[in-house]
Structure 1
């Protein structure tokens, strides 16, 4: 049945489609086929299980269709009641109602991506998140009257008073943040706010779009210049509120630390590229004689220097664009290059220079699976893939972190 466009500004008319979900593809999309054999990629406000029959609004393109599930006709019995009251409208999480099967569904998505991008024969390990993993950072939006997340595919606000995906202190701070803005204790200007907490989760900071920060104390919010402190096993890190850091720091440190230990990553010099505030350098600790950390953000590098100095680790921390800084022939055979680039992955020119590197080992981290696989293939002429792991560092979403251990070809 044809109707109005399914997506804003789309010239193609929408059609209604009903049928079964055959399997899950990367990003949590359900894969199906039309009666004429054309491929369908469907997204949904809640988790999809293979075998479920759904109704969707679809737009047909040249060779395939894309759509959104509007109704479940049959539901998998493994579904669980969502613990979030706004699960179907909020754009923050993707896998509510998956229950204890969320990790299995994510593993299916990753399997589909790696099979198509790298082939059937590439071995890899899956590291699901523990039940205790919760978000230590959330970004909320204040419209002058309500506080919440954006609705999926929209800038319309979904008001919330609690967030079950966040740590308890963060969730409990949401109504106190709203009350402070309503009472003009905090600025009431419309915009984005970030709530963040330390590790273990205890103190809560609120940071506005201008970078101003308040700490929540028993009697309310107070201006603060205190850094956020994370105790992550034997590692300790500090950074300013509002700065980029792991969403769930305790689980991220456990996952990365355990993986790098299992792979026995060590050497002479560690080139910690896109190094942030020093997470990987600190986790690897005394496995290296020296560290060179490169990061483009001045504030992050300043904190990296403090964190590595506090850990007693000899290092150079440089403010530079990594793609411009990396020279031809970087490193010696005993050195390790570790890269944790932004979501877009490595620039082509950087991949070209890494092909000439003198270092014997390379560790690549990527938070976008498709970009990560692309970069592995770009590096393949000079680097062999020895180990591949996928970490579920973003519970309740379709996002994962990929990590590869590569050695220089002779």
Structure 2
């Protein structure tokens, strides 16, 4: 049974319980120092990699761990109580699941970049459990969905490092303190090998040494490495060192070739993302007359879907991204109307005809409520919704469900070694 020790008993509040009073845990808002030591088993995994425990009176505890959690493990944690539940961080494992694996990253426990290192070959199954818990609670028990695990070869093609004037590394979890690194096993090998080269250049003043954020990125295939500072200035790594270069990053993804400026947003693991999205949309037979590619970026989905559409309308708020989308689609021989606009403001009432497809890949926050209202009036027959935040994605699916029926649901592990996933829904317009 879970046990609780109070660290700040004097801070507990009392409420009328009918025949007397009873103590309730202090709420988080009262003081972040009022914590309790908790010990007990992990019942299951919840969305975001949280472990679910339970207090003696039955209330839920959401527990965070630095490396991975397995259901059934007994842990100790420091808990902060909110009004109806507790949240905490695990400080010690009393019993460890025998499936745990030794982390191959030397800073896995402190670095804020990955949280599933010790899951080993069971990472995919643990992530699937997290997703299942979210979908069960948010979408419903009876909704079928498919899970698409990441291959062992999937690595990051973009990493963000921080330079404080003396050391280069990632931020520590829940902190802006630096964790110095000289390699990153989660990154594509050329990026990992470029970290000490970047450190040496910063330390030797061969690159601007003002403290700040640096992004290392590579194309597809991962051969050339770019370094971009906070001001958007870019250098390319040559055998003799870093050289200023404004050349775009190029990704050859199956039949599509996409370019974008260094430092710009693109898929974290482009080869695996193209394979996963491409196979999924093909199996769903996504095709039609006009593709409305909303939040279209530099044209990934328009290029990927190729000649399955007669026409494309791409809408994106970033001018530079739209400029690259025009170039990418023109080079691919795909006629497109590429517009710089805020999607929520641009989408009109009654968008499209039944042969058209609306594809949305919004930012992490998901769709605005007013946009969902306008999409309810759309004339297009098919809608594809992509989301990198599972909770926001489920909220948007429910918002759209009055006018759109959910036909297919898939979850792609596009972010290996983290609790993040990409959700994709295929919806058709209700009569």
Q: Is TM more than 0.5 here? A: yes
Alpha-carbon shift at residue 38 of structure 1 (Å)? 1.3
Matches within 5 A, 1:110-149: 110-149=131-170
Question: Match of 1:33?
Answer: 54
Question: Match of 2:324?
Answer: 303
Alpha-carbon shift at residue 63 of structure 1 (Å)? 1.5
Where structure 1 has 5 or more consecutive residues not aligned to the other structure, the ranges are none
Asked if residue 314 in structure 1 is aligned to residue 335 in structure 2, the reply is: yes
Moved more, 55-64 or 361-370: 55-64
Question: Match of 2:247?
Answer: 226
Q: Is the 8 A contact 2:27 2:83 kept in 1?
A: no
Q: Note closer, same or farther for the CA distance 1:78–1:7 as it changes in structure 2 (3 Å cut).
A: farther
Per-residue displacement from partner, 1:185-241 (whole Å, max 9, x unpaired)?
Answer: 000000000000010100000000000000000000000010000011111100000
Where structure 2 has 5 or more consecutive residues not aligned to the other structure, the ranges are 9-25
Alpha-carbon shift at residue 12 of structure 1 (Å)? 5.2
1:299 match: secondary structure:
helix
In 2: Cα distance, 1:269 partner to 1:148 partner: 45
In 2: Cα distance, 1:216 partner to 1:16 partner: 50
Question: Match of 2:278?
Answer: 257
Aligned equivalent of 2:235, options 208, 214, 217: 214
Alpha-carbon shift at residue 10 of structure 1 (Å)? 4.0
Asked if residue 401 in structure 1 is aligned to residue 422 in structure 2, the reply is: yes
Q: Is the 8 A contact 2:27 2:81 kept in 1?
A: no
TM-score, length-scaled by structure 2? 0.94
Question: Match of 2:296?
Answer: 275
Alpha-carbon shift at residue 353 of structure 1 (Å)? 0.2
In 2: Cα distance, 1:57 partner to 1:14 partner: 6
Q: Note closer, same or farther for the CA distance 1:324–1:254 as it changes in structure 2 (3 Å cut).
A: same
Question: Match of 1:103?
Answer: 124
Per-residue displacement from partner, 1:113-161 (whole Å, max 9, x unpaired)?
Answer: 0000011100000000000000000000000000000000000000000
In 2: Cα distance, 1:330 partner to 1:67 partner: 46
Aligned equivalent of 1:197, options 218, 226, 230: 218
Q: Note closer, same or farther for the CA distance 1:294–1:118 as it changes in structure 2 (3 Å cut).
A: same
Asked if residue 292 in structure 1 is aligned to residue 313 in structure 2, the reply is: yes
- RMSD of equivalent CA atoms: 1.4
Higher-Rg structure is 2
Alpha-carbon shift at residue 37 of structure 1 (Å)? 1.1
In 2: Cα distance, 1:395 partner to 1:10 partner: 36
Q: Is the 8 A contact 1:331 1:359 kept in 2?
A: yes
Per-residue displacement from partner, 1:60-90 (whole Å, max 9, x unpaired)?
Answer: 1221110000011110000111010000000
Question: Match of 2:12?
Answer: none
TM-score, length-scaled by structure 1? 0.98
Asked if residue 352 in structure 1 is aligned to residue 373 in structure 2, the reply is: yes
Asked if residue 59 in structure 1 is aligned to residue 80 in structure 2, the reply is: yes
1:98 match: secondary structure:
helix
Alpha-carbon shift at residue 36 of structure 1 (Å)? 1.5
Q: Is the 8 A contact 2:317 2:343 kept in 1?
A: yes
Q: Is the 8 A contact 1:6 1:14 kept in 2?
A: no
In 2: Cα distance, 1:15 partner to 1:407 partner: 49
In 1: Cα distance, 2:188 partner to 2:117 partner: 17
Question: Match of 2:175?
Answer: 154
